[in-house]
Structure 1
Amino acid sequence: MGSRLVTVTVMGVKGRIFLWLCIILTTVSFIAGQSPTGGQSKTKQTTKAYVYAFVGRSQFPSAAYWDQNALQTTTDPPVKGQYKTGCGVKPGGSDYRGNISVTSSGKTCQRWDVDFPHDRYYRPEDYPELVENYCRNPHGLEPGLWCYTTHPSTRSEYCVDPACPFVIVEKWRGDGRCGEDFPTPEGTPGECNPNNNRPCCSLFGWCGEGSEYCSCLSCVDYRAKKNAGL
């Protein structure tokens, strides 16, 4: 892991603004080994760039976050899915769109579109998901949902984690691949959608229809699995 710190000082009529840019290029390698389910995990290397900008005064969350997607070397596509309204299923709840508006200590959240009683760093014009005074985690930087509070002496606080007991996630991938060698982001083998025109998984891990997809020795017909309740 390597890191480089660059300090820039800008002089102005009204004072100084110190801008620290810390660009951390992190290479994370997942070394081959046993997965939690007992199967072999595969080696994968992912490179991300994180830019932290601190301007003038401290903020909470403490930094602006930028994920340089173009630098990611992983080729896994996002899995198609359907999620219960209001539930956050990603780590930290960055995809949460519910209406919780109270912090874990019971404080009411400040609206995202006003600067009272606290000035804001995150604004709806930059993050459309910041609606009303609902708890959010823009960019997923923090470990959980949070909000600015209406309490004069408490700038911001984490919120209660929403309960999501009925999350429904489809088990097929966006690129039409399937089988043990093509898992979903959750780690389960990719399946084929039994409700479209590519319901079967071929020997080579492609979803399709016809005998080479549905009738070969190692083919899997997910229509039959659906009918069997599997």
Structure 2
Amino acid sequence: MRRWQRPYSLDSATAFAMLGLVVAAVVAPVLAIVVVREPWVPTPLAVLFEVWLAVCLAVAVRQAMLGVYVSEDGIRSRTLLRTATVPWESVADIHSGIATIAGLDMGRSAITIERTDGISVQTALQRGDLLRPFTFRPELGRLATWPEHYDEILTTLRAYHRDARPRHAAQAGGPARTVTPDAGTTSPAVRLGGLRSGSGGPTADQRRDVHALTRQHERGALTDAELAAALAKIRGASGG
């Protein structure tokens, strides 16, 4: 998997951004031609309008590209203003942190990539509210997705990170990490027989079940044997 791809399904916000991009790409040239050809429109105003259309189109393109991408080489975060790429060997942790803008707490959680050098990379993926339509926090430049979808994305990204660490350790000539039956140190992707999101991988419902089982095990509600039995059923249902 050398190419970069989103390891999760798109939510409605990203889908609407892509739809807006298609509409803008079709409408913007038409509007620009109409404004330029109208003799009653002053030239400075026509130029200003075309610049405004170009800025809107650029923002729409960037908004449609927001998110987190993965490949065999590392993980990439795309926000409205910057793209940050971190090799897997430089990723210390992927967790849910505080969403901020210019140092101000937005009152949300955001998926954060912790680098081994201590630098945190805040992604555009944020945990939204159940009553999102009644909140007045800005959405441009970030993806505030529903809590269940947010948790699913976080679990998937952690699974890719855990799977990448032993592979890169082996390529570097270091000791490869041995995956043990201990459920507390094995990623959800490994527990499902090494399958990842994508063609032939576990479905979204199965990944959600694995996440729920893992959370119960971490709280002590499930023993190691009970967790292993439940995961074996999910692996069998996925045809692994």
Larger Rg over CA atoms: 1
More strand by share: 1
Smaller-chain TM-score range? Answer: under 0.3
- Larger RCO: Structure 1 or Structure 2 (Cα < 8 Å, ≥ 6 residues apart)? 2
Q: Structure 1 length normalisation: TM-score? A: 0.24
Q: Structure 2 length normalisation: TM-score? A: 0.23
